[in-house]
Amino acid sequence: MSLLSLFSVSLTLNNHTILNDVSFDVAQGEVIGLIGPNGSGKTTLFNLLSGFLKPTSGSILFKDENITNVIPSKRARLGFGRVFQHFGIFRDMTLEENVRVALEALPRDKRKELGNMDELVDATLDMALLKPYAKKKAGSLSGGQMRLLEIARTLTSGKELFLLDEPTAGVSPKMTHQVADMISKLKQQGKTVLIIEHDLPFIAQICDRVIVLDVGKVVLSGNPTEVRDSEELKEIYFG
Amino acid sequence: MSFFLHILILIGYCLPIVLAFNLIFGKGKILHFGPMGVSAATSYAIFVVLMNTHSFLLAILFGLLISILISLFFSWLSLRLEQDSLGVMSLAVHLTIIVIITNWTSVTCGALGIPKIPRLSFMESIEMFALVTTIYCAIFLYFLYKVDKSSFGRKLEALAEHSWHAKSLGINRAYVHAIAFLILGFAHVFGGFFAYTYLRFLNTHEFGFQSLIFIVMAVVAGKPGSFKGVTLAVILLILLKEGIRFIPLAPGILGPVRLITFGIILFVAVWIRRDTLFPQERLV
């Protein structure tokens, strides 16, 4: 059964077609890499999936429910977790508050299901290796630490579908391994993940399937090895 | 002694209003310049009903109803407009309310105002009035402190820093804004009730830009979003405002001196906080 389905999704802004007839299914527990050159519409697709943009045509189904017109906060409560390209943490809040605010935004029954809030906050900071800095402002963290905090926060807040927008961007090579470890944990837990990445070896290492976008269209889809070795991919990137 | 009680009463009804405004303007970084419009509408709603029915309960209930309607309207505007547009629009709504009140003379007595406002019988003496307003202020402050430190406060702060990030966590902006505006509306209902039963007179001049500047100044000087800072700023500014009376100046000069003093304080406070007052919301 598909967890997420896109049917002929198109988006036009100011007479400019950003996404054109995008359709694909995402199965429960699948880890999918979304690649493509700059301006191919990857982040726009994430904004559309998160509910920040509404498609001009087409529909989006989550667990067989049409969510095309559902607002972002409701999508998050349905189980969408998003990691932003430019660090979606609140820099003026402490690390502890950053985790707490995410947990508090969950529906009441989900919060109860997850257990004790203080323990969850501790566990999240522990997972991100940031427990000693719990009372520090998040703005004082390095890019890598911010990324770890953001992923750990999304991980512990019981989301079902993770949208990770360039999770290794602005992260040191050492931290990239830690980010990869965290995504592997998601995979082990049977979570469904969509990742936008430019790092093809990273994608090949963790993804079950890769979707290639170019000029707003899905041009290629398959397992990472097939996609990596395809002539079409070389054509898209190198002309 | 009576000056001390007078200060206590002023702080009693001003502080909850300013702190509730701080929740929106300081913590929520919502450029709302219409609090005096809300205050005018709710105060007139209360006292028009009171003077016609002589029922304090009915008057307060009607004031609450009007405050809910206007607060939800401002909250709706805050969702639909960009920050600068909201600032201008909220001022326009404020002025519209004042114009309606001033010209609807058959109901509001227009520019003449509503005189001889009665007090609750147990609040006739200034001592009792000071005691009741102080108790009210303490209760409202405790409530606002709890709100500030609660999950609601964190959600408001998260939305202020980055609304997309906050929404992607599941925070409902419409709900959070509505609650923040309603809290300010309720502060205006009770603050207005105490203020004009104390003064025994209600006039549209009470809701001019001078009052708005005082509220904004208290929040900016006390550090936007800071509960303790804004509390301290309100107390000091009220002491300054009332203390100026003791300077031997002609009554015609006293008002302008007070305005100039407050203008200078606001200028200095904004200058000091120019980088952090309204930081640009981060973009995705």
Residue B160, in any domain of the structure: yes
Instruction: Report the relative pairing of strands A161-165 and A192-196 from DSSP bridges.
Output: parallel
Instruction: Output the tens digit of pLDDT for each of chain B's 284 residues.
Output: 788 999 999 999 999 999 999 999 999 999 999 999 999 999 999 999 999 999 999 999 999 999 999 999 999 999 999 888 999 999 999 999 999 999 999 999 888 899 999 999 998 899 999 999 999 999 999 999 999 999 999 999 999 999 999 999 999 999 999 999 999 999 999 999 999 999 999 999 889 888 898 899 899 988 899 999 999 999 999 998 888 888 887 878 877 888 888 888 888 888 887 777 665 555 54
Which of A84, A92, A97 lies closest to B165 in CB terms?
Answer: A84
The verdict on B171 touching A (C-beta cutoff 8 Å) is yes
Quick one: pLDDT at residue B53?
Answer: 94
Mean predicted confidence (pLDDT) in A117-146: 89
Residue B265, in any domain of the structure: no
The verdict on B83 touching A (C-beta cutoff 8 Å) is no
DSSP-assigned letter for residue B25: I
Separation CA A41–CA A47 (nearest Å): 10
The verdict on A158 touching B (C-beta cutoff 8 Å) is no
Separation CA B80–CA B262 (nearest Å): 33
Separation CA A139–CA A93 (nearest Å): 8
Cβ(B94)–Cβ(B37) under 8 Å?
yes
Which of B165, B173, B284 lies closest to A90 in CB terms?
Answer: B165
Instruction: Report the relative pairing of strands A57-62 and A65-66 from DSSP bridges.
Output: antiparallel
- Positive or negative torsion for Cα B86, B87, B92, B98: positive
Beta carbons within 8 Å of A91's beta carbon, 6+ residues apart: A137, A138, A139, B161
CA distance A229 to chain B (A): 33
CA distance B275 to chain A (A): 14
The verdict on A76 touching B (C-beta cutoff 8 Å) is yes
Cβ(A223)–Cβ(A209) under 8 Å?
yes
Number of domains in chain B: 1
Quick one: pLDDT at residue B284?
Answer: 46
pLDDT above 50 (res A207):
yes
More confident residue, A204 or B52: B52
Quick one: pLDDT at residue A115?
Answer: 84
Separation CA A99–CA A153 (nearest Å): 6
Enumerate residues 7 to 46 of chain A having a beta carbon within 8 A of any beta carbon in chain B: 43
Q: For chain B, state the CA radius of gyration.
A: 19
Would the CB atoms of B162 and A73 count as touching at under 8 Å? no
Q: What is the pLDDT of residues A51-96, one digit of tens each?
A: 999 999 999 999 999 999 999 999 999 999 998 888 888 998 999 9
Cβ(A125)–Cβ(A117) under 8 Å?
no
Phi, psi of A8 (to 5 degrees): 45, 50
**Structural domain containing residue B107:** 2-208
Quick one: pLDDT at residue B282?
Answer: 55
Say which residue the tokens 């002539």 belong to: A231
Q: Three-state SS string across A71-140, please?
A: CHHHHHHHCEEEECCCCCCCCCCEHHHHHHHHHHCCCHHHHHHHCCHHHHHHHHHHHCCCHHHCCCEHHH
Which of B158, B173, B284 lies closest to A84 in CB terms?
Answer: B284
Residue B244, in any domain of the structure: no
The verdict on B258 touching A (C-beta cutoff 8 Å) is no
Cβ(B157)–Cβ(B32) under 8 Å?
no
Q: Which two tokens stand for residue A55?
A: 């498609």
Residue B225, in any domain of the structure: no
The identity of residue B232, as a single letter, is L
Q: What is the mean pLDDT of chain A?
A: 88
Residue B67, in any domain of the structure: yes
Residue A25: strand, helix, or coil:
strand
Which of B167, B282, B284 lies closest to A73 in CB terms?
Answer: B167
Cβ(A221)–Cβ(A209) under 8 Å?
yes
Residue B270, in any domain of the structure: no
Nearest to B56 by CA among B115, B5, B121: B121
CA neighbours closer than 13 Å in the CB half-sphere of residue A31:
21
Nearest residue of A to residue B176, measured between CA atoms:
A105
Residue B220, in any domain of the structure: no
Quick one: pLDDT at residue B275?
Answer: 73
Query: A226 pLDDT band (50/70/90 cuts)?
Result: confident
Residue B172, in any domain of the structure: yes
Q: Which domains does chain A have, with CATH numbers?
A: 2-38+57-238 (3.40.50.300)
